[in-house]
Amino acid sequence: MEDKKARLLDLRDKIDAIDDKLLELLNERAGYAMEVGDVKKAEKGSRFHVLEREESIYKRLTEKNPGPFPSRAIRPIFREIISASLSLEKVLNIACLGPEATFSHIASIQQFGEAAKFIHTRGVPDIFDEVERGRADYGVVPIENSTEGVVNLTLDMFIESHLQICAEVLLEISQCLLSQEEDLSKIKVVYSHPQALAQCYTWLSKNLPHAEIKESFSTAMAAKTAREKPHTAAIASEFAARIYGLPIFKMRIEDNPQNYTRFWVIGKQSPGITGNDKTSLMLTIKDGVGALHSMLKPFADNKLNLTKIESRPFRKKPWEYIFFIDVEGHIEDKNVKGAIDEVKMASDFIKVLGSYPKGSRLL
């Protein structure tokens, strides 16, 4: 027994020594990061935040990892290291849908880390406005949910905006029932965002058929309301439960367990090539026989994979449609640029929304 206790103490001492070394190395890394910042300041036109550099760090370390440390943990850990180091030079301002603890806020943290400053807005147009006016370095906007489909307002904003897509974030959406009540029969009202209510429709119908359903501006606002009113509940995230101090009555109540929302990070300049990129564009096509075929053929000829095609009524011209397309590759890739140049000849209007690193599903 004594031998096991001594062995345990010895192992803990070794872990403490490694932690001390890690802290020393983190401070050494932060010092070099600050020097990089000084060099950038001296270079006119140099970008302060280089997204493709971050992606190359995550990729290199993940590929280099020999284990047993899990590769899936590398990105979130180094995201916080990079975020904290950047904040020593300049704190990034990130606009997202508020209030605190919305899924947009969670997606923003997933991309930029806890050291960023988050500007909570009331709507998608406000996010675009914050970035366009320079009050935010980036914005994070929802673009598509795997259950409920595209967010049309976000697509429409790009018709007029000059902002570019800089990255995408794929966030698993797991909904919880939050309430101070300990019995379902005592819950009289359930608050949440309309999309969250739709995602949990079957569960609500089976378990709370007696409750009144009320829509909220956001899932986070629903959590705030449920905290203040008796006999109520909210559908929101586990993160919202922690932020607003509400007990979790039931976890994972969404009807579809494979429920993801895709977010776009928007800014004034898209990143360079990472080798694992996606390009988004919008266009209208000239009317005529085979017009849609003429638009799609250049992508096939250049052996490019289209991951999404979405059409919307074009607000500027009645009865015309605007197409939103995602294609694998970067605009600087020869075959991507060549295909888009060909598509321009079959289009009345075309606009590249940005080339950016593909998002990954984090556990």
106-326-119 Cα angle (round to 5): 25
Active site residues: 261, 263
CA distance 166 to 6: 53
